[in-house]
Amino acid sequence: MSSVAYILRGCRASPSSSLLLPCTTTNTSRSFSALSFSPSPFSFPSSSSSSSEKLHKVHPFLRMEHFWTGSSIAKTKNKGLVEHLKEYGVIKSKKVAEVMETIDRGLFVPEGNPAYVDSPMPIGYNATISAPHMHASCLELLEEHLQPGMRALDVGSGTGYLTACFAMMVGPQGRAIGIEHIPELVAFSIDNINKSAAAPLLKGGSLSVHAADGRLGWPELAPYDAIHVGAAASEIPPALLEQLKPGGRMVIPVGNIFQDLKVVDKNLDGSINIRNEASVRYVPLTSRAAQLRE
């Protein structure tokens, strides 16, 4: 259930393969434009091609990755990615920046993929790890609901990156739960977390990852202050609404061909407010069998 996630609002997007590029809109705010690739959004031209040279000139994240090729200082690479996300206005919160610097994305991207490029990356099983700007956006939206001692649920946790970020934010007195319906990815995510700064939280029990159908949530530890869903649902799953704590917030992409990233707030009286944050593209929230057939 991990996502291929792009923010499409205010951008030029290819209907097929696309990679988001930072750009400046006419109202001086930062947005993202799309650069098409063929045959896959994860295929990069060879370094000797003229197209690669042009790409590195216009895409600061690819230029950054090219500059760091061969470097053994992963923390420097990860910090540079966070700095670029701050520069382009994606990260505004000091806390989100700190957490994304602390949890090294490179530990959660399969070997051979450019971990510090602002693009989703394949992780196997017809799943991906979302682009860094999507992770940053969701952390920003959920920050007030990821305070120390709170509870967070990450549906479609994939390689475990965002679950680890949640765990760092809620701390050892809180709980961060990842739900992933591909058991192999659950095992992979646990290995990744054990290599990261979130390892003590996993060992201490405040962070856990489970193989289950995320559409049903994880009722054992409900209600949750924050729920993140990493794949697009045709409609908001009732179980997730039920498990959202009054005063809590859920961030979930909803739609089929056309999708919106929805921010769902449950008021203290149990009523629900929903707003559209951005147009996005995610893989569908579906069953394990259906995902593996795709």
Residues designated catalytic:
130
Residues 37 and 198: their CA atoms lie apart, in Å, by 35
Which of these, 97, 108, 96, 104, lies nearest to 78 by C-alpha position?
104
Residues 139 and 117: their CA atoms lie apart, in Å, by 18
Give CA angle at 238 (216, 152), nearest 5°. 60
C-alpha 138: how far from chain center: 7
Residues 204 and 208: their CA atoms lie apart, in Å, by 9
Distances (CA, A) of 216 to 68, 98, 167, 243: 42, 31, 21, 9
Q: 81 near 132, Cβ under 8 Å? A: yes
Q: 90 near 135, Cβ under 8 Å? A: no
Give CA angle at 136 (229, 157), nearest 5°. 35
